[in-house]
Amino acid sequence: MKNFFKRTLRGLTGMGIFALISAVFGLAVMFLWNWLFPAIFGLPKISYLQAAGLFALTRVLFSGLGIAGGGFGHGLHGHGNFLSGDDQRRHNPFREKWLNMSEEERIDFLKHHHNPFR
């Protein structure tokens, strides 16, 4: 029974912190929008609820829903798929290919792919 109350309190605390952070970011979006966008682009000012909605929309569009990592990071580290932890590293074909390359192949690969003037 003691564990139940401890977990419940921890969950409520987490939800409270999430709500506080969301409120602060919503206010930040509203103040920045109302300060910059009407002056620069001639757009109308927005309310707090519109700012919170805009923040939530950009969070979903640019970071995913928070499920399985989300976002755009699919590089050599194995982020962004539905596997977690060690499973990500084991099932990432780019990482496997990188690990199977010799030192010389890695240097050639980096020279070819990271040359900004090709």
Q: How far apart are CA 33 and CA 45, in angstroms?
A: 7
Domain contains 68: no
Residue 7 has a pLDDT of: 87
Residue 118 has a pLDDT of: 56
Same domain for 97 and 46: no
What are the Cα distances from residue 20, in Å, to 4, 17, 44?
24, 5, 26
Residue 33 has a pLDDT of: 94
Same domain for 19 and 42: yes
Residue 112 has a pLDDT of: 80
Which tens digit of pLDDT belongs to each residue from 49-83?
999 999 989 888 887 665 554 444 444 444 454 55
Please state, for a pLDDT cut of 70, what percent of the chain lies above it: 74
Q: How far apart are CA 87 and CA 34, in angstroms?
A: 45
Specify the number of domains making up the chain: 2
Q: Which domain holds residue 27?
A: 1-63
Domain contains 50: yes
Residue 116 has a pLDDT of: 64
Domain contains 97: yes
Domain contains 69: no
Same domain for 83 and 56: no
Same domain for 57 and 114: no
Residue 70 has a pLDDT of: 47
Dihedral (C-alpha) 83, 87, 89, 94: value to the nearest 10 degrees?
Answer: -60
Burial class (CB in 10 A: 0-12, 13-18, 19+), 92: buried
66: left (phi over 0), alpha (psi -120 to 50) or beta: left
Same domain for 94 and 41: no
Write out residues in the chain with pLDDT < 70, as ranges.
64-90, 115-118
